Amino acid sequence: MTMRQRKQRLRWIKKRQLARVGRRMLIEHLEDRQLLALSPVAINTGDIAPIALQQSTDSAQAEYRITHVSTLDAANNKTELERVPFGNDGSLQLKVGSVVAGYLFASTGLDENNSLLAKGQFLLLPGILPGIPNDLSSATGFQGKYEIEFSVTSGATTATGSVVINVGAGFSVTGDLKIENASARLDIARIQQRLNFLGFTGPNLQPLPVDGIAGSETVGAAKLFKAAVHATGEVDITEVPSEKLFDARMVRWLNSTNAPSWVKVDGLVNFNK
């Protein structure tokens, strides 16, 4: 064996040794993760909250997959939710029977061409309607615990983990989760979620689709909300350009602790306007 061949072989052996060390460190890291649940996250039921599963020590090649989503009762017993594909980017609608229990949006910008779910990032939209299992309150919106279980794969090694999302009452009026001027799809989606929480529907009297698109149902709900906060209770926005639909005054009211709610009242007799 020539000196050059000997040096090449030594370099090859060293690379193999470094690869073994790196793989062993990755396996040890993932095995440690299997034993630990992520710290609980707290959000409000009227918000759209970003959730991040990834850790600073993750490999750039680590790939995440949601395996189970459940709600938990007071004793942490699980009721698993059905995960229904929603959109073209891996987003999930969470259901139990016909009841929508929430959404996991795969893109933090609601951009179907920029899914981040495989990187362990998504948006959580708590369910609004009654009938969600383990809802701990009779107030509007789900209040309780979601548990999200996931797997993370790097190379030939797969580990598992989970995170509990504690959902409380109300909505954010300050901070990163408050309503902003509608300049992006996520801003409009936050408005839709907030209007749903406050009970304002479109002409079909159903909760708004939270898709970041100001369609006819969203416009109708916005008109109803604007009438509720208008001094005279009357407002006509049929001629208002869509880019001015959600003006600064409406945004301020949506971020107010005194924001009005639209409540259905049954059993009224001889009611005249």
247 and 198 in one domain?
A: yes
**Overall average pLDDT of the 135-164 stretch:** 90
Query: Would you give the DSSP letter of residue 37?
Result: P
Within a domain: residue 27?
no
Percentage of the chain exceeding pLDDT 70: 73
What are the tens digits of pLDDT across the range 157-178? 888 889 999 999 999 998 888 8
Within a domain: residue 7?
no
Q: What is the structure's pLDDT at 63? A: 87
Within a domain: residue 126?
yes
CA–CA distance, 185 with 211 (Å, rounded to integer): 8
Within a domain: residue 5?
no
Q: What is the structure's pLDDT at 31? A: 46
Q: What is the structure's pLDDT at 35? A: 41
pTM recorded for the entire structure = 0.77
Q: Which two tokens stand for residue 268?
A: 């009224």
CA–CA distance, 131 with 81 (Å, rounded to integer): 12
Over 60: is that where the pLDDT of 14 sits? no
Best CA proximity match to 51, nearest among 160, 150, 153, 199: 150
Over 80: is that where the pLDDT of 223 sits? yes
Over 60: is that where the pLDDT of 122 sits? yes
Q: What is the structure's pLDDT at 26? A: 44
Within a domain: residue 33?
no
Range of the domain at 78: 41-168
Instruction: Report whether 173 contacts 199 (CB < 8 A).
Output: no
151 and 47 in one domain?
A: yes
CA–CA distance, 148 with 137 (Å, rounded to integer): 21
What are the tens digits of pLDDT across the range 130-139? 899 999 998 8
What are the tens digits of pLDDT across the range 20-48? 444 444 444 444 444 445 778 899 999 99
Relative to beta strand 63-72, strand 99-105 is: unpaired
Which carries the bigger pLDDT value, residue 5 or residue 265? 265
What are the tens digits of pLDDT across the range 48-92? 998 988 765 556 678 889 999 999 999 999 999 999 998 777 889
Runs of H (alpha helix) within the chain: 3-34, 185-198, 216-229, 248-254
133 and 49 in one domain?
A: yes
Residues 6+ apart with CB under 8 A from 106: 87, 89, 90, 91, 92, 115, 116, 117, 122
Best CA proximity match to 33, nearest among 54, 60, 51, 61: 54
Residue identified by tokens 């795969």 is: 106
How many domains are contained in the chain? 2
**Overall average pLDDT of the 104-123 stretch:** 78
Within a domain: residue 177?
no
Query: Would you give the DSSP letter of residue 176?
Result: T
Alpha-carbon distances of 271 from 118, 266, 268, rounded to whole Å:
54, 11, 6
Residue identified by tokens 């060390």 is: 21
161 and 47 in one domain?
A: yes
